Amino acid sequence: MTPTFLGLPGGLAYAPKGVGNLHADQPFPTAAKSALANTQLRRNLGVATSTIRAKRAAVVAELPDWEQLRDAGAAIKAQAMQRLPELLEQLERNVVARGGVVHWARDAAEANQIVIDIVRAAGSSEVVKVKSMATQEIGLNEALEAVGISATETDLAELIVQLGHDKPSHILVPAIHRNRSEIRDIFAREMADAPEGLSDEPRVLAMTARAHLRRKFLSTKVAVSGGNFAIAETGTLGVVESEGNGRMCLTLPNTLITVLGIEKVLPSWRDLEVFLQLLPRSSTGERMNPYTSMWTGVTPGDGPQEFHLVLLDNGRTAVLADEVGRAALHCIRCSACLNVCPVYERTGGNAYGSVYPGPIGAILSPQLTGIGGHSDPNASLPFASSLCGACYDVCPVKIDIPSILVHLRARAVEAARHDLMPSGQALAMKSASWFMRSPTRFSRAERLLRLGRVLAWRRGRITALPWPGSSWTMSRDLPAPPRETFRERWERERGGGADR
Ligand code: SF4
């Protein structure tokens, strides 16, 4: 069936905002403050990101044509976005022709309902899951739980996050903020079949999770996955992973449901060659993925006998409408940009308040949910960057993240213009503009600022101001105003004229 919400391009019908885990509860600076105070978190993040950075740099340096591969990846993605409606319809035809069922979901609520209906129709009250950003984005686990269906994450790090009633803080290594003794405590507390006296030795922890998950794989009838790629020309889906849990989920249960963001479609198998080189090197710093699973529809007597593909919009067509911002849809979720980001390395992922943290989260989440006025926490995300450009340098599909951040900052400022209650910054700018529009007012204001010398006193700098000046002095000092203004000095040395 033709998707009615994808009248692309030229006739874009925007998908309504759905529920899910994309929207931050509090502005980034507020959330970052508590993350920065957590020294254990910063230590864990520092060790993990520097290790992955070094591994990535080593394997990328092995390829003489790395830059050409990046160019090819960027070009394939740009072309796929241009042909998106046509490719999605081709994908649908080929999945259906090979025995699969395709569902179109405008938003998170629709996607969740589709999955719930399929699980119920299969007569099951539990599912096993392959790690998937799309299902986290729509809040699938929470939606399933609300109707009495239990979901078990089977990726080790996701399992740690789920059992810890926690939130993932990294796209690839969701439990990056946990160390091994914290993980031992979580298993001992939450895993009913964990052995007595569990140690925090990594091998023991991994074996405990393995035994726990094996029982789930063998008894659960429905699996839910995401997908790294979908090949339009054959209707093939692909998942890459490192632990083999994905392969178990994709082959053992009778029913397989794949929730796929519509931007994951690629035109042909040949395109996959480029991404299977770019992705593992950029994400885990490996030459190839330990497990690459591909499936096309259903095969009688082999693997799941029912396959459902849920194609998810959830704001993506709105992102596609923005000429600058749409490049965010090229992302292959490798997480290389997180590992090099100086802001992410200090705050971790939870401060971003969205399932997509770090530089990619700062450009994707606000676009998927829309940017509100200054009180919208998501509007603070494009400002969570020093614009150093390290993310652009490592991105395997050459997404110009800094330029998109600047573009989104402009959109956030524009949105705040319509606020009934202007922000402290907007008020400060308005009053500065009023003073600067008149030479007399400006000169008087300069003289008035000299009073700041009293506050600075002998230190030569102002360290604390009342609101709204406190927004500045809580993180930086202000130098004491000079004894003499520029105009006074000009007058003294050259004799008049500076005021005109
Ligand atoms: S934006 Fe680029 S570097 Fe960041 S996760 Fe996406 S593909 Fe990887």
pLDDT digits (tens, 9 = 90+) for 16-57: 344 467 777 889 999 998 889 888 888 888 888 999 999 999
- More confident of the two residues 432 and 112: 112
Residues 6+ apart with CB under 8 A from 248: 128, 154, 213, 217
- More confident of the two residues 372 and 268: 268
Distance 404 CA to ligand 1 centre (A): 13
75's tokens: 């070009």
Distance 44 CA to ligand 1 centre (A): 22
Average pLDDT over residues 471-484: 85
**Measuring from atom 7 of ligand 1, which residue has the nearest CA?**
331
182 exposed, middle or buried (CB, 10 Å; 0-12, 13-18, 19+)?
Answer: middle
Ligand 1 pocket (Cβ < 6 Å) reads 282, 331-337, 360, 394-397, 399
Single-letter amino acid, residue 402: P
Helix, strand or coil for residue 398? coil
Stretch among 166-175, 250-259, 260-269, 373-382 having the lowest mean pLDDT: 166-175
30's tokens: 């507020």
Average pLDDT over residues 5-13: 36
* Other Cβ atoms within 10 Å of 65 Cβ, number: 10
- More confident of the two residues 127 and 43: 127
- Strands of the sheet containing 306-312, edge to edge, are 101-105, 306-312, 255-261, 222-225, 126-129, 150-153
Distance 399 CA to ligand 1 centre (A): 7
Count of residues for the chain? 500
Residues 6+ apart with CB under 8 A from 159: 152, 153, 209, 212, 213
Helix, strand or coil for residue 269? helix
The pLDDT value recorded for residue 475 is 80
CA angle in degrees (0–180, nearest 5) for 454-475-358: 165
| Contact of 73 with 397, CB cutoff 8 Å | yes
Q: Report the C-alpha gap between 22 and 444 in whole angstroms.
A: 48
Of the candidates 418, 414, 416, 408, which has an alpha carbon nearest to the alpha carbon of residue 322?
A: 408
pLDDT tens by residue, 282-336: 999 999 999 999 999 999 999 999 999 999 999 999 999 999 999 999 999 999 9
Task: Supply the mean pLDDT for the chain.
Answer: 90
| 3 HSE (CA, 13 A, CB side) | 31
Of the candidates 353, 24, 38, 49, which has an alpha carbon nearest to the alpha carbon of residue 173?
A: 49
Distance 329 CA to ligand 1 centre (A): 10
| Contact of 191 with 205, CB cutoff 8 Å | no
The pLDDT value recorded for residue 126 is 97
Q: Is the pLDDT of residue 258 over 90?
A: yes
The pLDDT value recorded for residue 32 is 92
Average pLDDT over residues 266-289: 96
Q: Report the C-alpha gap between 337 and 387 in whole angstroms.
A: 12
Distance 302 CA to ligand 1 centre (A): 35
Q: Is the pLDDT of residue 174 over 90?
A: no
Q: Which atom, in ligand 1's list, is nearest to the CA of 283?
A: 8
The pLDDT value recorded for residue 16 is 37
Could you tell which of 133, 284, 395, 404 is best to mutate to test the pocket of ligand 1, judged by most ligand atoms within 8 Å of the CB? Answer: 395
Q: Is the pLDDT of residue 86 over 70?
A: yes
Q: Report the C-alpha gap between 411 and 426 in whole angstroms.
A: 14
Distance 349 CA to ligand 1 centre (A): 15
The pLDDT value recorded for residue 255 is 98
Of the candidates 217, 206, 167, 151, which has an alpha carbon nearest to the alpha carbon of residue 183?
A: 206
**Measuring from atom 2 of ligand 1, which residue has the nearest CA?**
395
**Measuring from atom 3 of ligand 1, which residue has the nearest CA?**
395
Rg (CA), the chain: 26
> What is the pLDDT confidence band of residue 15, given thresholds at 50, 70 and 90?
very low
> What is the pLDDT confidence band of residue 278, given thresholds at 50, 70 and 90?
very high
**Measuring from atom 6 of ligand 1, which residue has the nearest CA?**
331
Helix, strand or coil for residue 107? coil
Distance 452 CA to ligand 1 centre (A): 46
Distance 337 CA to ligand 1 centre (A): 5
**Measuring from atom 8 of ligand 1, which residue has the nearest CA?**
334
Distance 310 CA to ligand 1 centre (A): 23
Distance 336 CA to ligand 1 centre (A): 6
The pLDDT value recorded for residue 274 is 97
pLDDT tens by residue, 184-225: 999 999 998 899 899 999 999 999 999 999 999 999 999 999
Could you tell which of 274, 278, 282, 404 is best to mutate to test the pocket of ligand 1, judged by most ligand atoms within 8 Å of the CB? Answer: 282
Q: Where are the alpha helices (DSSP H) in 171-253?
A: 180-190, 202-219, 245-251
Distance 391 CA to ligand 1 centre (A): 8
Q: Which atom, in ligand 1's list, is nearest to the CA of 360?
A: 1
Residues 6+ apart with CB under 8 A from 299: none
Of the candidates 30, 453, 6, 56, which has an alpha carbon nearest to the alpha carbon of residue 262?
A: 6
CB under 8 Å, gap of 24 or more: what pairs does 208-216 form? Answer: 209/156, 209/159, 212/159, 213/128, 213/152, 213/154, 213/159, 213/245, 213/248, 216/128, 216/152, 216/154
Q: Which residue has the tokens 């980001």?
A: 341
Phi-psi region of 396 (alpha: psi -120 to 50; beta: other; left: phi over 0): alpha
pLDDT tens by residue, 342-398: 999 999 888 999 899 999 999 999 999 988 877 788 889 999 999 999 999 999 999
Q: Report the C-alpha gap between 263 and 429 in whole angstroms.
A: 39
Q: Which atom, in ligand 1's list, is nearest to the CA of 171?
A: 5
Distance 125 CA to ligand 1 centre (A): 35
| 285 HSE (CA, 13 A, CB side) | 14
pLDDT tens by residue, 420-476: 677 777 777 888 899 999 989 998 888 888 888 888 877 888 888 887 788 788 888
140's tokens: 């699938």
Q: Report the C-alpha gap between 34 and 176 in whole angstroms.
A: 17
Could you tell which of 70, 326, 333 is best to mutate to test the pocket of ligand 1, judged by most ligand atoms within 8 Å of the CB? Answer: 333
Strands 291-296 and 236-241: antiparallel
446's tokens: 């300069």
The pLDDT value recorded for residue 464 is 86
Could you tell which of 330, 399, 403, 404 is best to mutate to test the pocket of ligand 1, judged by most ligand atoms within 8 Å of the CB? Answer: 399
92's tokens: 């649908």
The pLDDT value recorded for residue 496 is 60
Return the C-alpha torsion angle 336, 39, 363, 87, nearest 10.
50
The pLDDT value recorded for residue 123 is 97
Distance 264 CA to ligand 1 centre (A): 13
Distance 474 CA to ligand 1 centre (A): 33
Could you tell which of 56, 275, 335, 364 is best to mutate to test the pocket of ligand 1, judged by most ligand atoms within 8 Å of the CB? Answer: 335
The pLDDT value recorded for residue 8 is 38
Q: Report the C-alpha gap between 357 and 24 in whole angstroms.
A: 11
The pLDDT value recorded for residue 14 is 34
Q: Which atom, in ligand 1's list, is nearest to the CA of 338?
A: 4
CB under 8 Å, gap of 24 or more: what pairs does 213-218 form? Answer: 213/128, 213/152, 213/154, 213/159, 213/245, 213/248, 216/128, 216/152, 216/154, 217/128, 217/154, 217/245, 217/248, 217/249, 217/252, 218/252
Could you tell which of 77, 81, 334, 405 is best to mutate to test the pocket of ligand 1, judged by most ligand atoms within 8 Å of the CB? Answer: 334
